[in-house]
Amino acid sequence: MSHHHEHHDGPFRARPRRRLPHRLGRVAHALTPHGHEPAAKVDPAMETSRQGMRTLWQSLGVLGLTTAVQAGVVALSGSVALLGDTVHNAADALTAVPLGIAFVLGRRAADRRYTYGYGRAEDLAGIVVVLTIAASCALAAYQAVDRLLHPREISQLWAVAGAAVVGFLGNEWVARQRIRTGRRIGSAALVADGLHARTDGFTSLAVLLGAGGAAIGWESADPVVGLLITAAILVVVRDAAREVCRRLMDSVDPALVDTAHGALLGVPGVRATGQVRMRWIGHALRAEADIVVDAHLTVVQAHALAVEAEHALIHAVPRLTAATVHIDHTADHEDPHAALAHHVGRTG
The whole-number pLDDT of residue 39 equals 33
Do 222 and 81 meet the contact criterion of CB atoms below 8 Å apart? yes
**Comparing C-alpha atoms, which of 264, 333, 255, 250 is closest to residue 292?**
264
Helices of type H across the chain: 22-31, 42-77, 80-94, 96-106, 121-149, 157-185, 188-215, 221-248, 254-265, 299-316
Average pLDDT of the residues in 80-104: 76
Interior CA angle at 132 toward 212 and 65, to 5°? 55
The whole-number pLDDT of residue 308 equals 95
Higher pLDDT, 206 or 109: 109
Measured CA to CA, the distance from residue 98 to residue 153 in angstroms comes to 38
Measured CA to CA, the distance from residue 264 to residue 32 in angstroms comes to 22
Higher pLDDT, 119 or 233: 119
The pair phi, psi for residue 340, each rounded to 5°, is -100, 0
Average pLDDT of the residues in 319-346: 75
Is the pTM above the cut of 0.75?
Answer: no
Beta bridge pairs of residue 292:
272, 328
Measured CA to CA, the distance from residue 189 to residue 181 in angstroms comes to 11
pLDDT reading at 26 higher than 70? no
Average pLDDT of the residues in 123-143: 80
pLDDT reading at 267 higher than 60? yes
Q: At what angle do helices 80-94 and 157-185 cross, to 10 degrees?
A: 30
pLDDT reading at 6 higher than 60? no
Amino acid at 35: G
Q: What is the DSSP string of 284-305?
A: EEEEEEEEEE-TT--HHHHHHH
Do 170 and 65 meet the contact criterion of CB atoms below 8 Å apart? yes
pLDDT reading at 260 higher than 70? yes
User: Starting at the edge strand that comes first in sequence, how are the strands of the sheet with 320-329 ordered?
Assistant: 272-281, 284-293, 320-329
